[in-house]
A and B are shown apart, each in its own frame.
Chain A
Amino acid sequence: MADMNTPLSKVRGLGSAKSGTEGWISHRIQAVANIPLVLFFVVSFVGNAGKGHAEWVAWIKQPLVSVLLILFILNFTAHMRSGLQEVVEDYVHSHGNKWAATLLIKFGCTLIAALSIFSVLRIAFGG
């Protein structure tokens, strides 16, 4: 008995759920964070409805607006990635298709985050 590991530490992570609990909890945390961010987004876009390019740019240039938009983008892309992943895991059963869909989701969500955050920053710091 040179083994100092507890029985629990030996089996942790070996079940079919793997790191599922952490994923499940972080998906809920993203959902909670999305509540105020979605409200901000909807109220802002209704309030600015019909505005032209210069006015939208001026709106995004406000530091608080830029930061809230970036937080919203970071949060919804993370929520979207884990949500779509869950759908794929439930309905796509063939190994190859599951991996193809998983890669598409991961790359797609990262691309959406990068493009939209870069755009917000370019507007915020642009001349």
Chain B
Amino acid sequence: MAQAKRPLSPHLQVYRFGAHMAVSIIHRITGSALAFGAILLTWWLVALAAGHEYFNMVQDFAGSLLGRFVLFMITFALMQHFASGIRHLFMDAGKLFDLKSNTATAKFTFVFSVVMTLVIWAAAYKVMGRL
């Protein structure tokens, strides 16, 4: 097909790897992962509407080691996407394009997401009286 021969804009391989690049790639990965999280949230809401018996089964799965691991990763994905999303909004407004603040804010999104994920889980365990 003639269309396949059209030139594409340069992709990842032509750029030098850095925090700004990592944050951009991870924004897309976490965004896609959150779509999976949305399916889980839907399942949970359907279970809640279905009645306590089915809900308890879903809660047991969520509380299992695998369930908690998945939810922990989704919490991280949400916080990372949240932080880098706000950073992108600033960039859409024409800010943060100088090298220094661009790199610094890119790195900060990772600090934010790791710290917030731990804070959220510590708070949840505290609420449950297990911390």
Q: A: which residues have CB within 8 A of B?
A: 28, 31-32, 34-35, 38, 42, 45-50, 52-54, 56-57, 60, 76-77, 80, 83-84, 87, 93, 95, 112, 115-116, 118-120, 122-123, 126
Contacts and interface: CB of A to CB of B under 8 A. Distances in A.
A35 B86 contact: yes
Contacts, number: 80
Given A80-B34, A123-B49, A49 B124 contact: yes
Given A46-B120, A53-B48, A83 B78 contact: no
B56 A53 contact: yes
- Max chain A C-beta neighbours (<10 A), residue from B39, B45, B123: B45
B120 A54 contact: no
23 contacts: A46-B120, A46-B127, A47-B127, A49-B123, A49-B125, A50-B128, A50-B129, A52-B52, A53-B48, A56-B48, A77-B38, A80-B34, A84-B31, A87-B28, A112-B42, A115-B45, A116-B45, A116-B46, A118-B49, A119-B48, A122-B49, A123-B48, A123-B49
Contacts of A45: 124
B123 A46 contact: yes
A84 B32 contact: yes
A87 B29 CA distance: 10
Contacts of A87: 28, 31-32
B21 interface: no
Nearest to B79: A42
Contacts of A56: 48, 55
Interface in B3-30: 3-4, 8, 28
